[in-house]
Structures are given as C-alpha cells and as structure tokens.
Amino acid sequence: MDNGLGEFIKRIPKSDLHVHLDGSLRPATLIELARRAKVKLPSYSEAGLRELVFKRTYRDLPEYLRGFAITTAVLRSPDNLERVAHEFVQDNIGENVRYVEARFAPQLHACESLSTAEVVRAVDRGMAAAAKRHNSSAAVRSGKDLPFHYGIIVCAMRRFKGGMSPYYADLLHVMDYAPHQEVYATASLELARAAVELKRKEDLPIVGFDLAGEESGYPAVKHKEAYQYAHDHFIKKTVHAGEAYGPESIFQAITQCHANRIGHGTFLFAEKMIQEPRISDRKRFVDELAEYIASQRIGIEVCLTSNLQTNPSINSIAGHPVRRMIERGLSVSLCTDNRLVSTTTVTRELGLAVTHLKLDHRALRKLVVAGFKGSFFPGNFTEKHAFISKVTERYAALERELLSEPGQVR
C-alpha cells in the first residue's frame, strides 16, 4: 500500500461497530489503575503485558478472553470507568473514527458499591465529555471536520463463573439450585430490563443488546427471553455468532434472537461445521442463509485481526471469508473487536483489507459507508441520514485531495 493511500485511509471518516470497551484500554492506563486498585498483573510493563497476555496469536477464543479478567478487575469504580471511556473516545477521534458503538458487559463491572446502572452512567459520562470537547471545536463548528457520535451496546454473557465479577458470584450463590444455563439466562434478562429502563427514563444512548463470550456449547437460544424483551422495547440486537461455531449459530441468532447484525460471522460458509442431522443439504442451507442475510441487510461486523488470532484455521487475511461475504453482497463493516487485546485500530484493519484483499476503490468505499449505514445510530432516521451524507461528502473531498487517480485505490 503506497503512502498516499495510507494517508487517505488515515484521514477518511470511519466507524467501529464492534469494539469492546474493556478490551480497549490504553496499556499505560491499565497498569496505573491496576497499581491503584491493587490488582495483580503478570507484568507491569507494556512489553511484558504484550508478551504474556495481549499476544499476537492465541491458541483459541478462551485464551483470547483471559485478558479480560484483568481489564474488568480495574474497571469497578465510576472514576476508572469514566476515565477509560473518555480515553477510548479520544483514541478513536485521533484516528478519524467519527462513529463508534462501545460495547461492554456492565455485570462484569458491577459490585457491592457499583450497580449495573451506575456502570453504564459512568461510561456515558466519559464518552460524552470527550465527544463534547471535539464537537465544540472550531473545526467542527466551521464544517471542516465531522462531529463525533457514539452509542452504547450492553453485552450479556453466554457463560460466566463466580470469579468473573462480584455480581456473577452473588447470582450463582443465590441461584445455586438452578442449572447454570438458567442462571446465565436470568442475568441476561435482568440486563435487558436495566437497558430498557436506562434508555427510556434517563435517555442514555443505549442502542443495542449483545451476547458475548464462549460460543461453542452455550447457544444463543438460551437467552431468547432477554432478546425478546429488548426486541419488544425497540432496542436493536447484535449477537456474537459464527466466531467459534458454525452456520447454525448464525441462523439461531437471526431466527431466535431477532439479530439486526452479526458479530464476526466468521464461519458463515463452513458447511462442515453444521451438526444438525436434519440439515441434509448443507450447501443449500449455507447458500440460503447467506442470501437471507444479504437481502435483509443484516450487517456483519468483521474483525480481521481478532479472527486470525482466535482461529488457527484462518492463516491469512487473504483466506478470510470476508472476501466471499463481499462477493455475495453482504453488508460488511470492518471493526477492531478490541483495540488493546488485538493491538489494532480501524485504520489498520482497513489497511490490511486493502492490501491483502486487493480491494478497488468501490469496494473500499462500500466497506467504509456500510459501517455508518449499518450503525444503531442513537438519533432518528433523518439525523442518521444527514450524518451519512456528511460522511460521504467528506470521503469524496478527501479522494479529490489525496488520490492522484480518484476511483483507483490499488
């Protein structure tokens, strides 16, 4: 990728629809907060954390998720949550991300002195303060720069243990008679109810409901009641699906959980991973599923670096199924997943896609705009449409300024 194109990707307005706040701390902040909170780290240097925790490659998804044990442990105070959220927005603004949906599991941070609602409020305060500072700048007020918008997605967990947070420990103790799948479902429904309450009574920008964590063996259908509650109250839905399990997981997310978007969707085309014996024609099932997703404009939140880290079977970006998704006409947006855990940015993800997938100008533009179009924008449809128009105008202006041959990215 030449320098001109690199500068172009750096400066265009971008979005990130799939990024975990508690996986996107600045390393220096994590170390500082851990010292204050007396949270033990494997290393107190950034290099040490990169070597021992936040690696370039992982054995599998469960190993990838282990780093969250230390990031969530330092985020159990309003001040720490607010600071991390503020820095998160600053980092995104710094690379010209102009819309982001920060997702996190409030119940991982809740404790005796901090309720689920207070967790969400603290994150919103931090994000709002950083956004306000940018949006009141002379560049934005003059129209030379775009304003920054954000939404919050609350995540339920497919599976949890007592050691993951005080909230989960208490819930498991209270419901010690119930099967774990029932306890997981109870926590999800409680979170969905809290999200609706905060959105309606406090007007917090909660735009979506998600289900995260270990996928294989912990089906989304177990959380159907929580998703139905969110659906009934007009909160949009996304589900981590097809990240560590096959097409059936994606099918279940759409048909049982009303998913508007799919997180990852990596194994959408993996016919061999289908386990349901009643699906006799696997190829047809996958083709029909992909066509349904494309025709209904169900967005796919693709996280290239993260997928390569957690799925050894995908050994290169060129071999990632995102190319097939694009060719099939799916609404694909590129996301980071975790800025810290995967050591990446939106700029880097787009650069990797252009370099390794040999994207032409039209494909790059479609990827970028799809992120804004597929967003769960907190304003009304008219406001969202107006913002997207400004994004496309800015994109076109940068094409004219920075590309020697507009229309040709390679």
Where do the domains of the chain lie?
3-402
pLDDT in tens, 185-225: 999 999 999 999 999 999 999 999 999 988 878 899 999 99
pLDDT in tens, 285-335: 999 999 999 999 999 999 999 999 988 888 899 999 999 999 999 999 999
Which pLDDT belongs to residue 3?
Answer: 66
Which pLDDT belongs to residue 403?
Answer: 85
- Whole-angstrom Cα distance, residue 252 to residue 9? 35
User: Which two tokens mark 251?
Assistant: 């099918």
Count helices and strands in the chain by DSSP H and E runs: 19, 8
Which pLDDT belongs to residue 206?
Answer: 98
Instruction: Order across the sheet with 149-157: list the strands.
Output: 14-20, 97-104, 149-157, 206-212, 236-241, 261-264, 299-302, 332-334
Q: Among residues 17, 10, 30, 14, which one has the least CA distance to residue 341?
A: 30
E-strand ranges in 21-142 read 97-104
Paired strand residues for 212: 157
Which pLDDT belongs to residue 409?
Answer: 43
Q: Among residues 265, 247, 249, which one has the least CA distance to residue 257?
A: 249
Element (H, E) at 81: helix 78-94
Average pLDDT for runs of 10 along the chain of length 410: 83 98 97 95 95 87 86 96 98 98 97 95 98 98 97 96 92 87 95 98 97 88 97 98 90 97 96 92 97 98 94 88 95 97 97 92 94 97 98 96 62
HSE, side-chain direction, 13 A CA sphere, residue 407: 1
Which pLDDT belongs to residue 410?
Answer: 40
Could you list the active site residues? 243
Which pLDDT belongs to residue 216?
Answer: 79
C-alpha distance across the termini of the chain, in Å? 7
pLDDT in tens, 245-271: 899 999 999 999 999 999 999 999 999
- Whole-angstrom Cα distance, residue 115 to residue 107? 8
Please answer whether residues 124 and 114 qualify as being in contact, where contact means their C-beta atoms are separated by less than 8 angstroms: no
Q: Among residues 159, 302, 317, 180, which one has the least CA distance to residue 238?
A: 302
Per CATH, is 3-402 categorized as 3.20.20.140? yes
Q: What letter represents residue 92's amino acid?
A: N
Which pLDDT belongs to residue 405?
Answer: 58
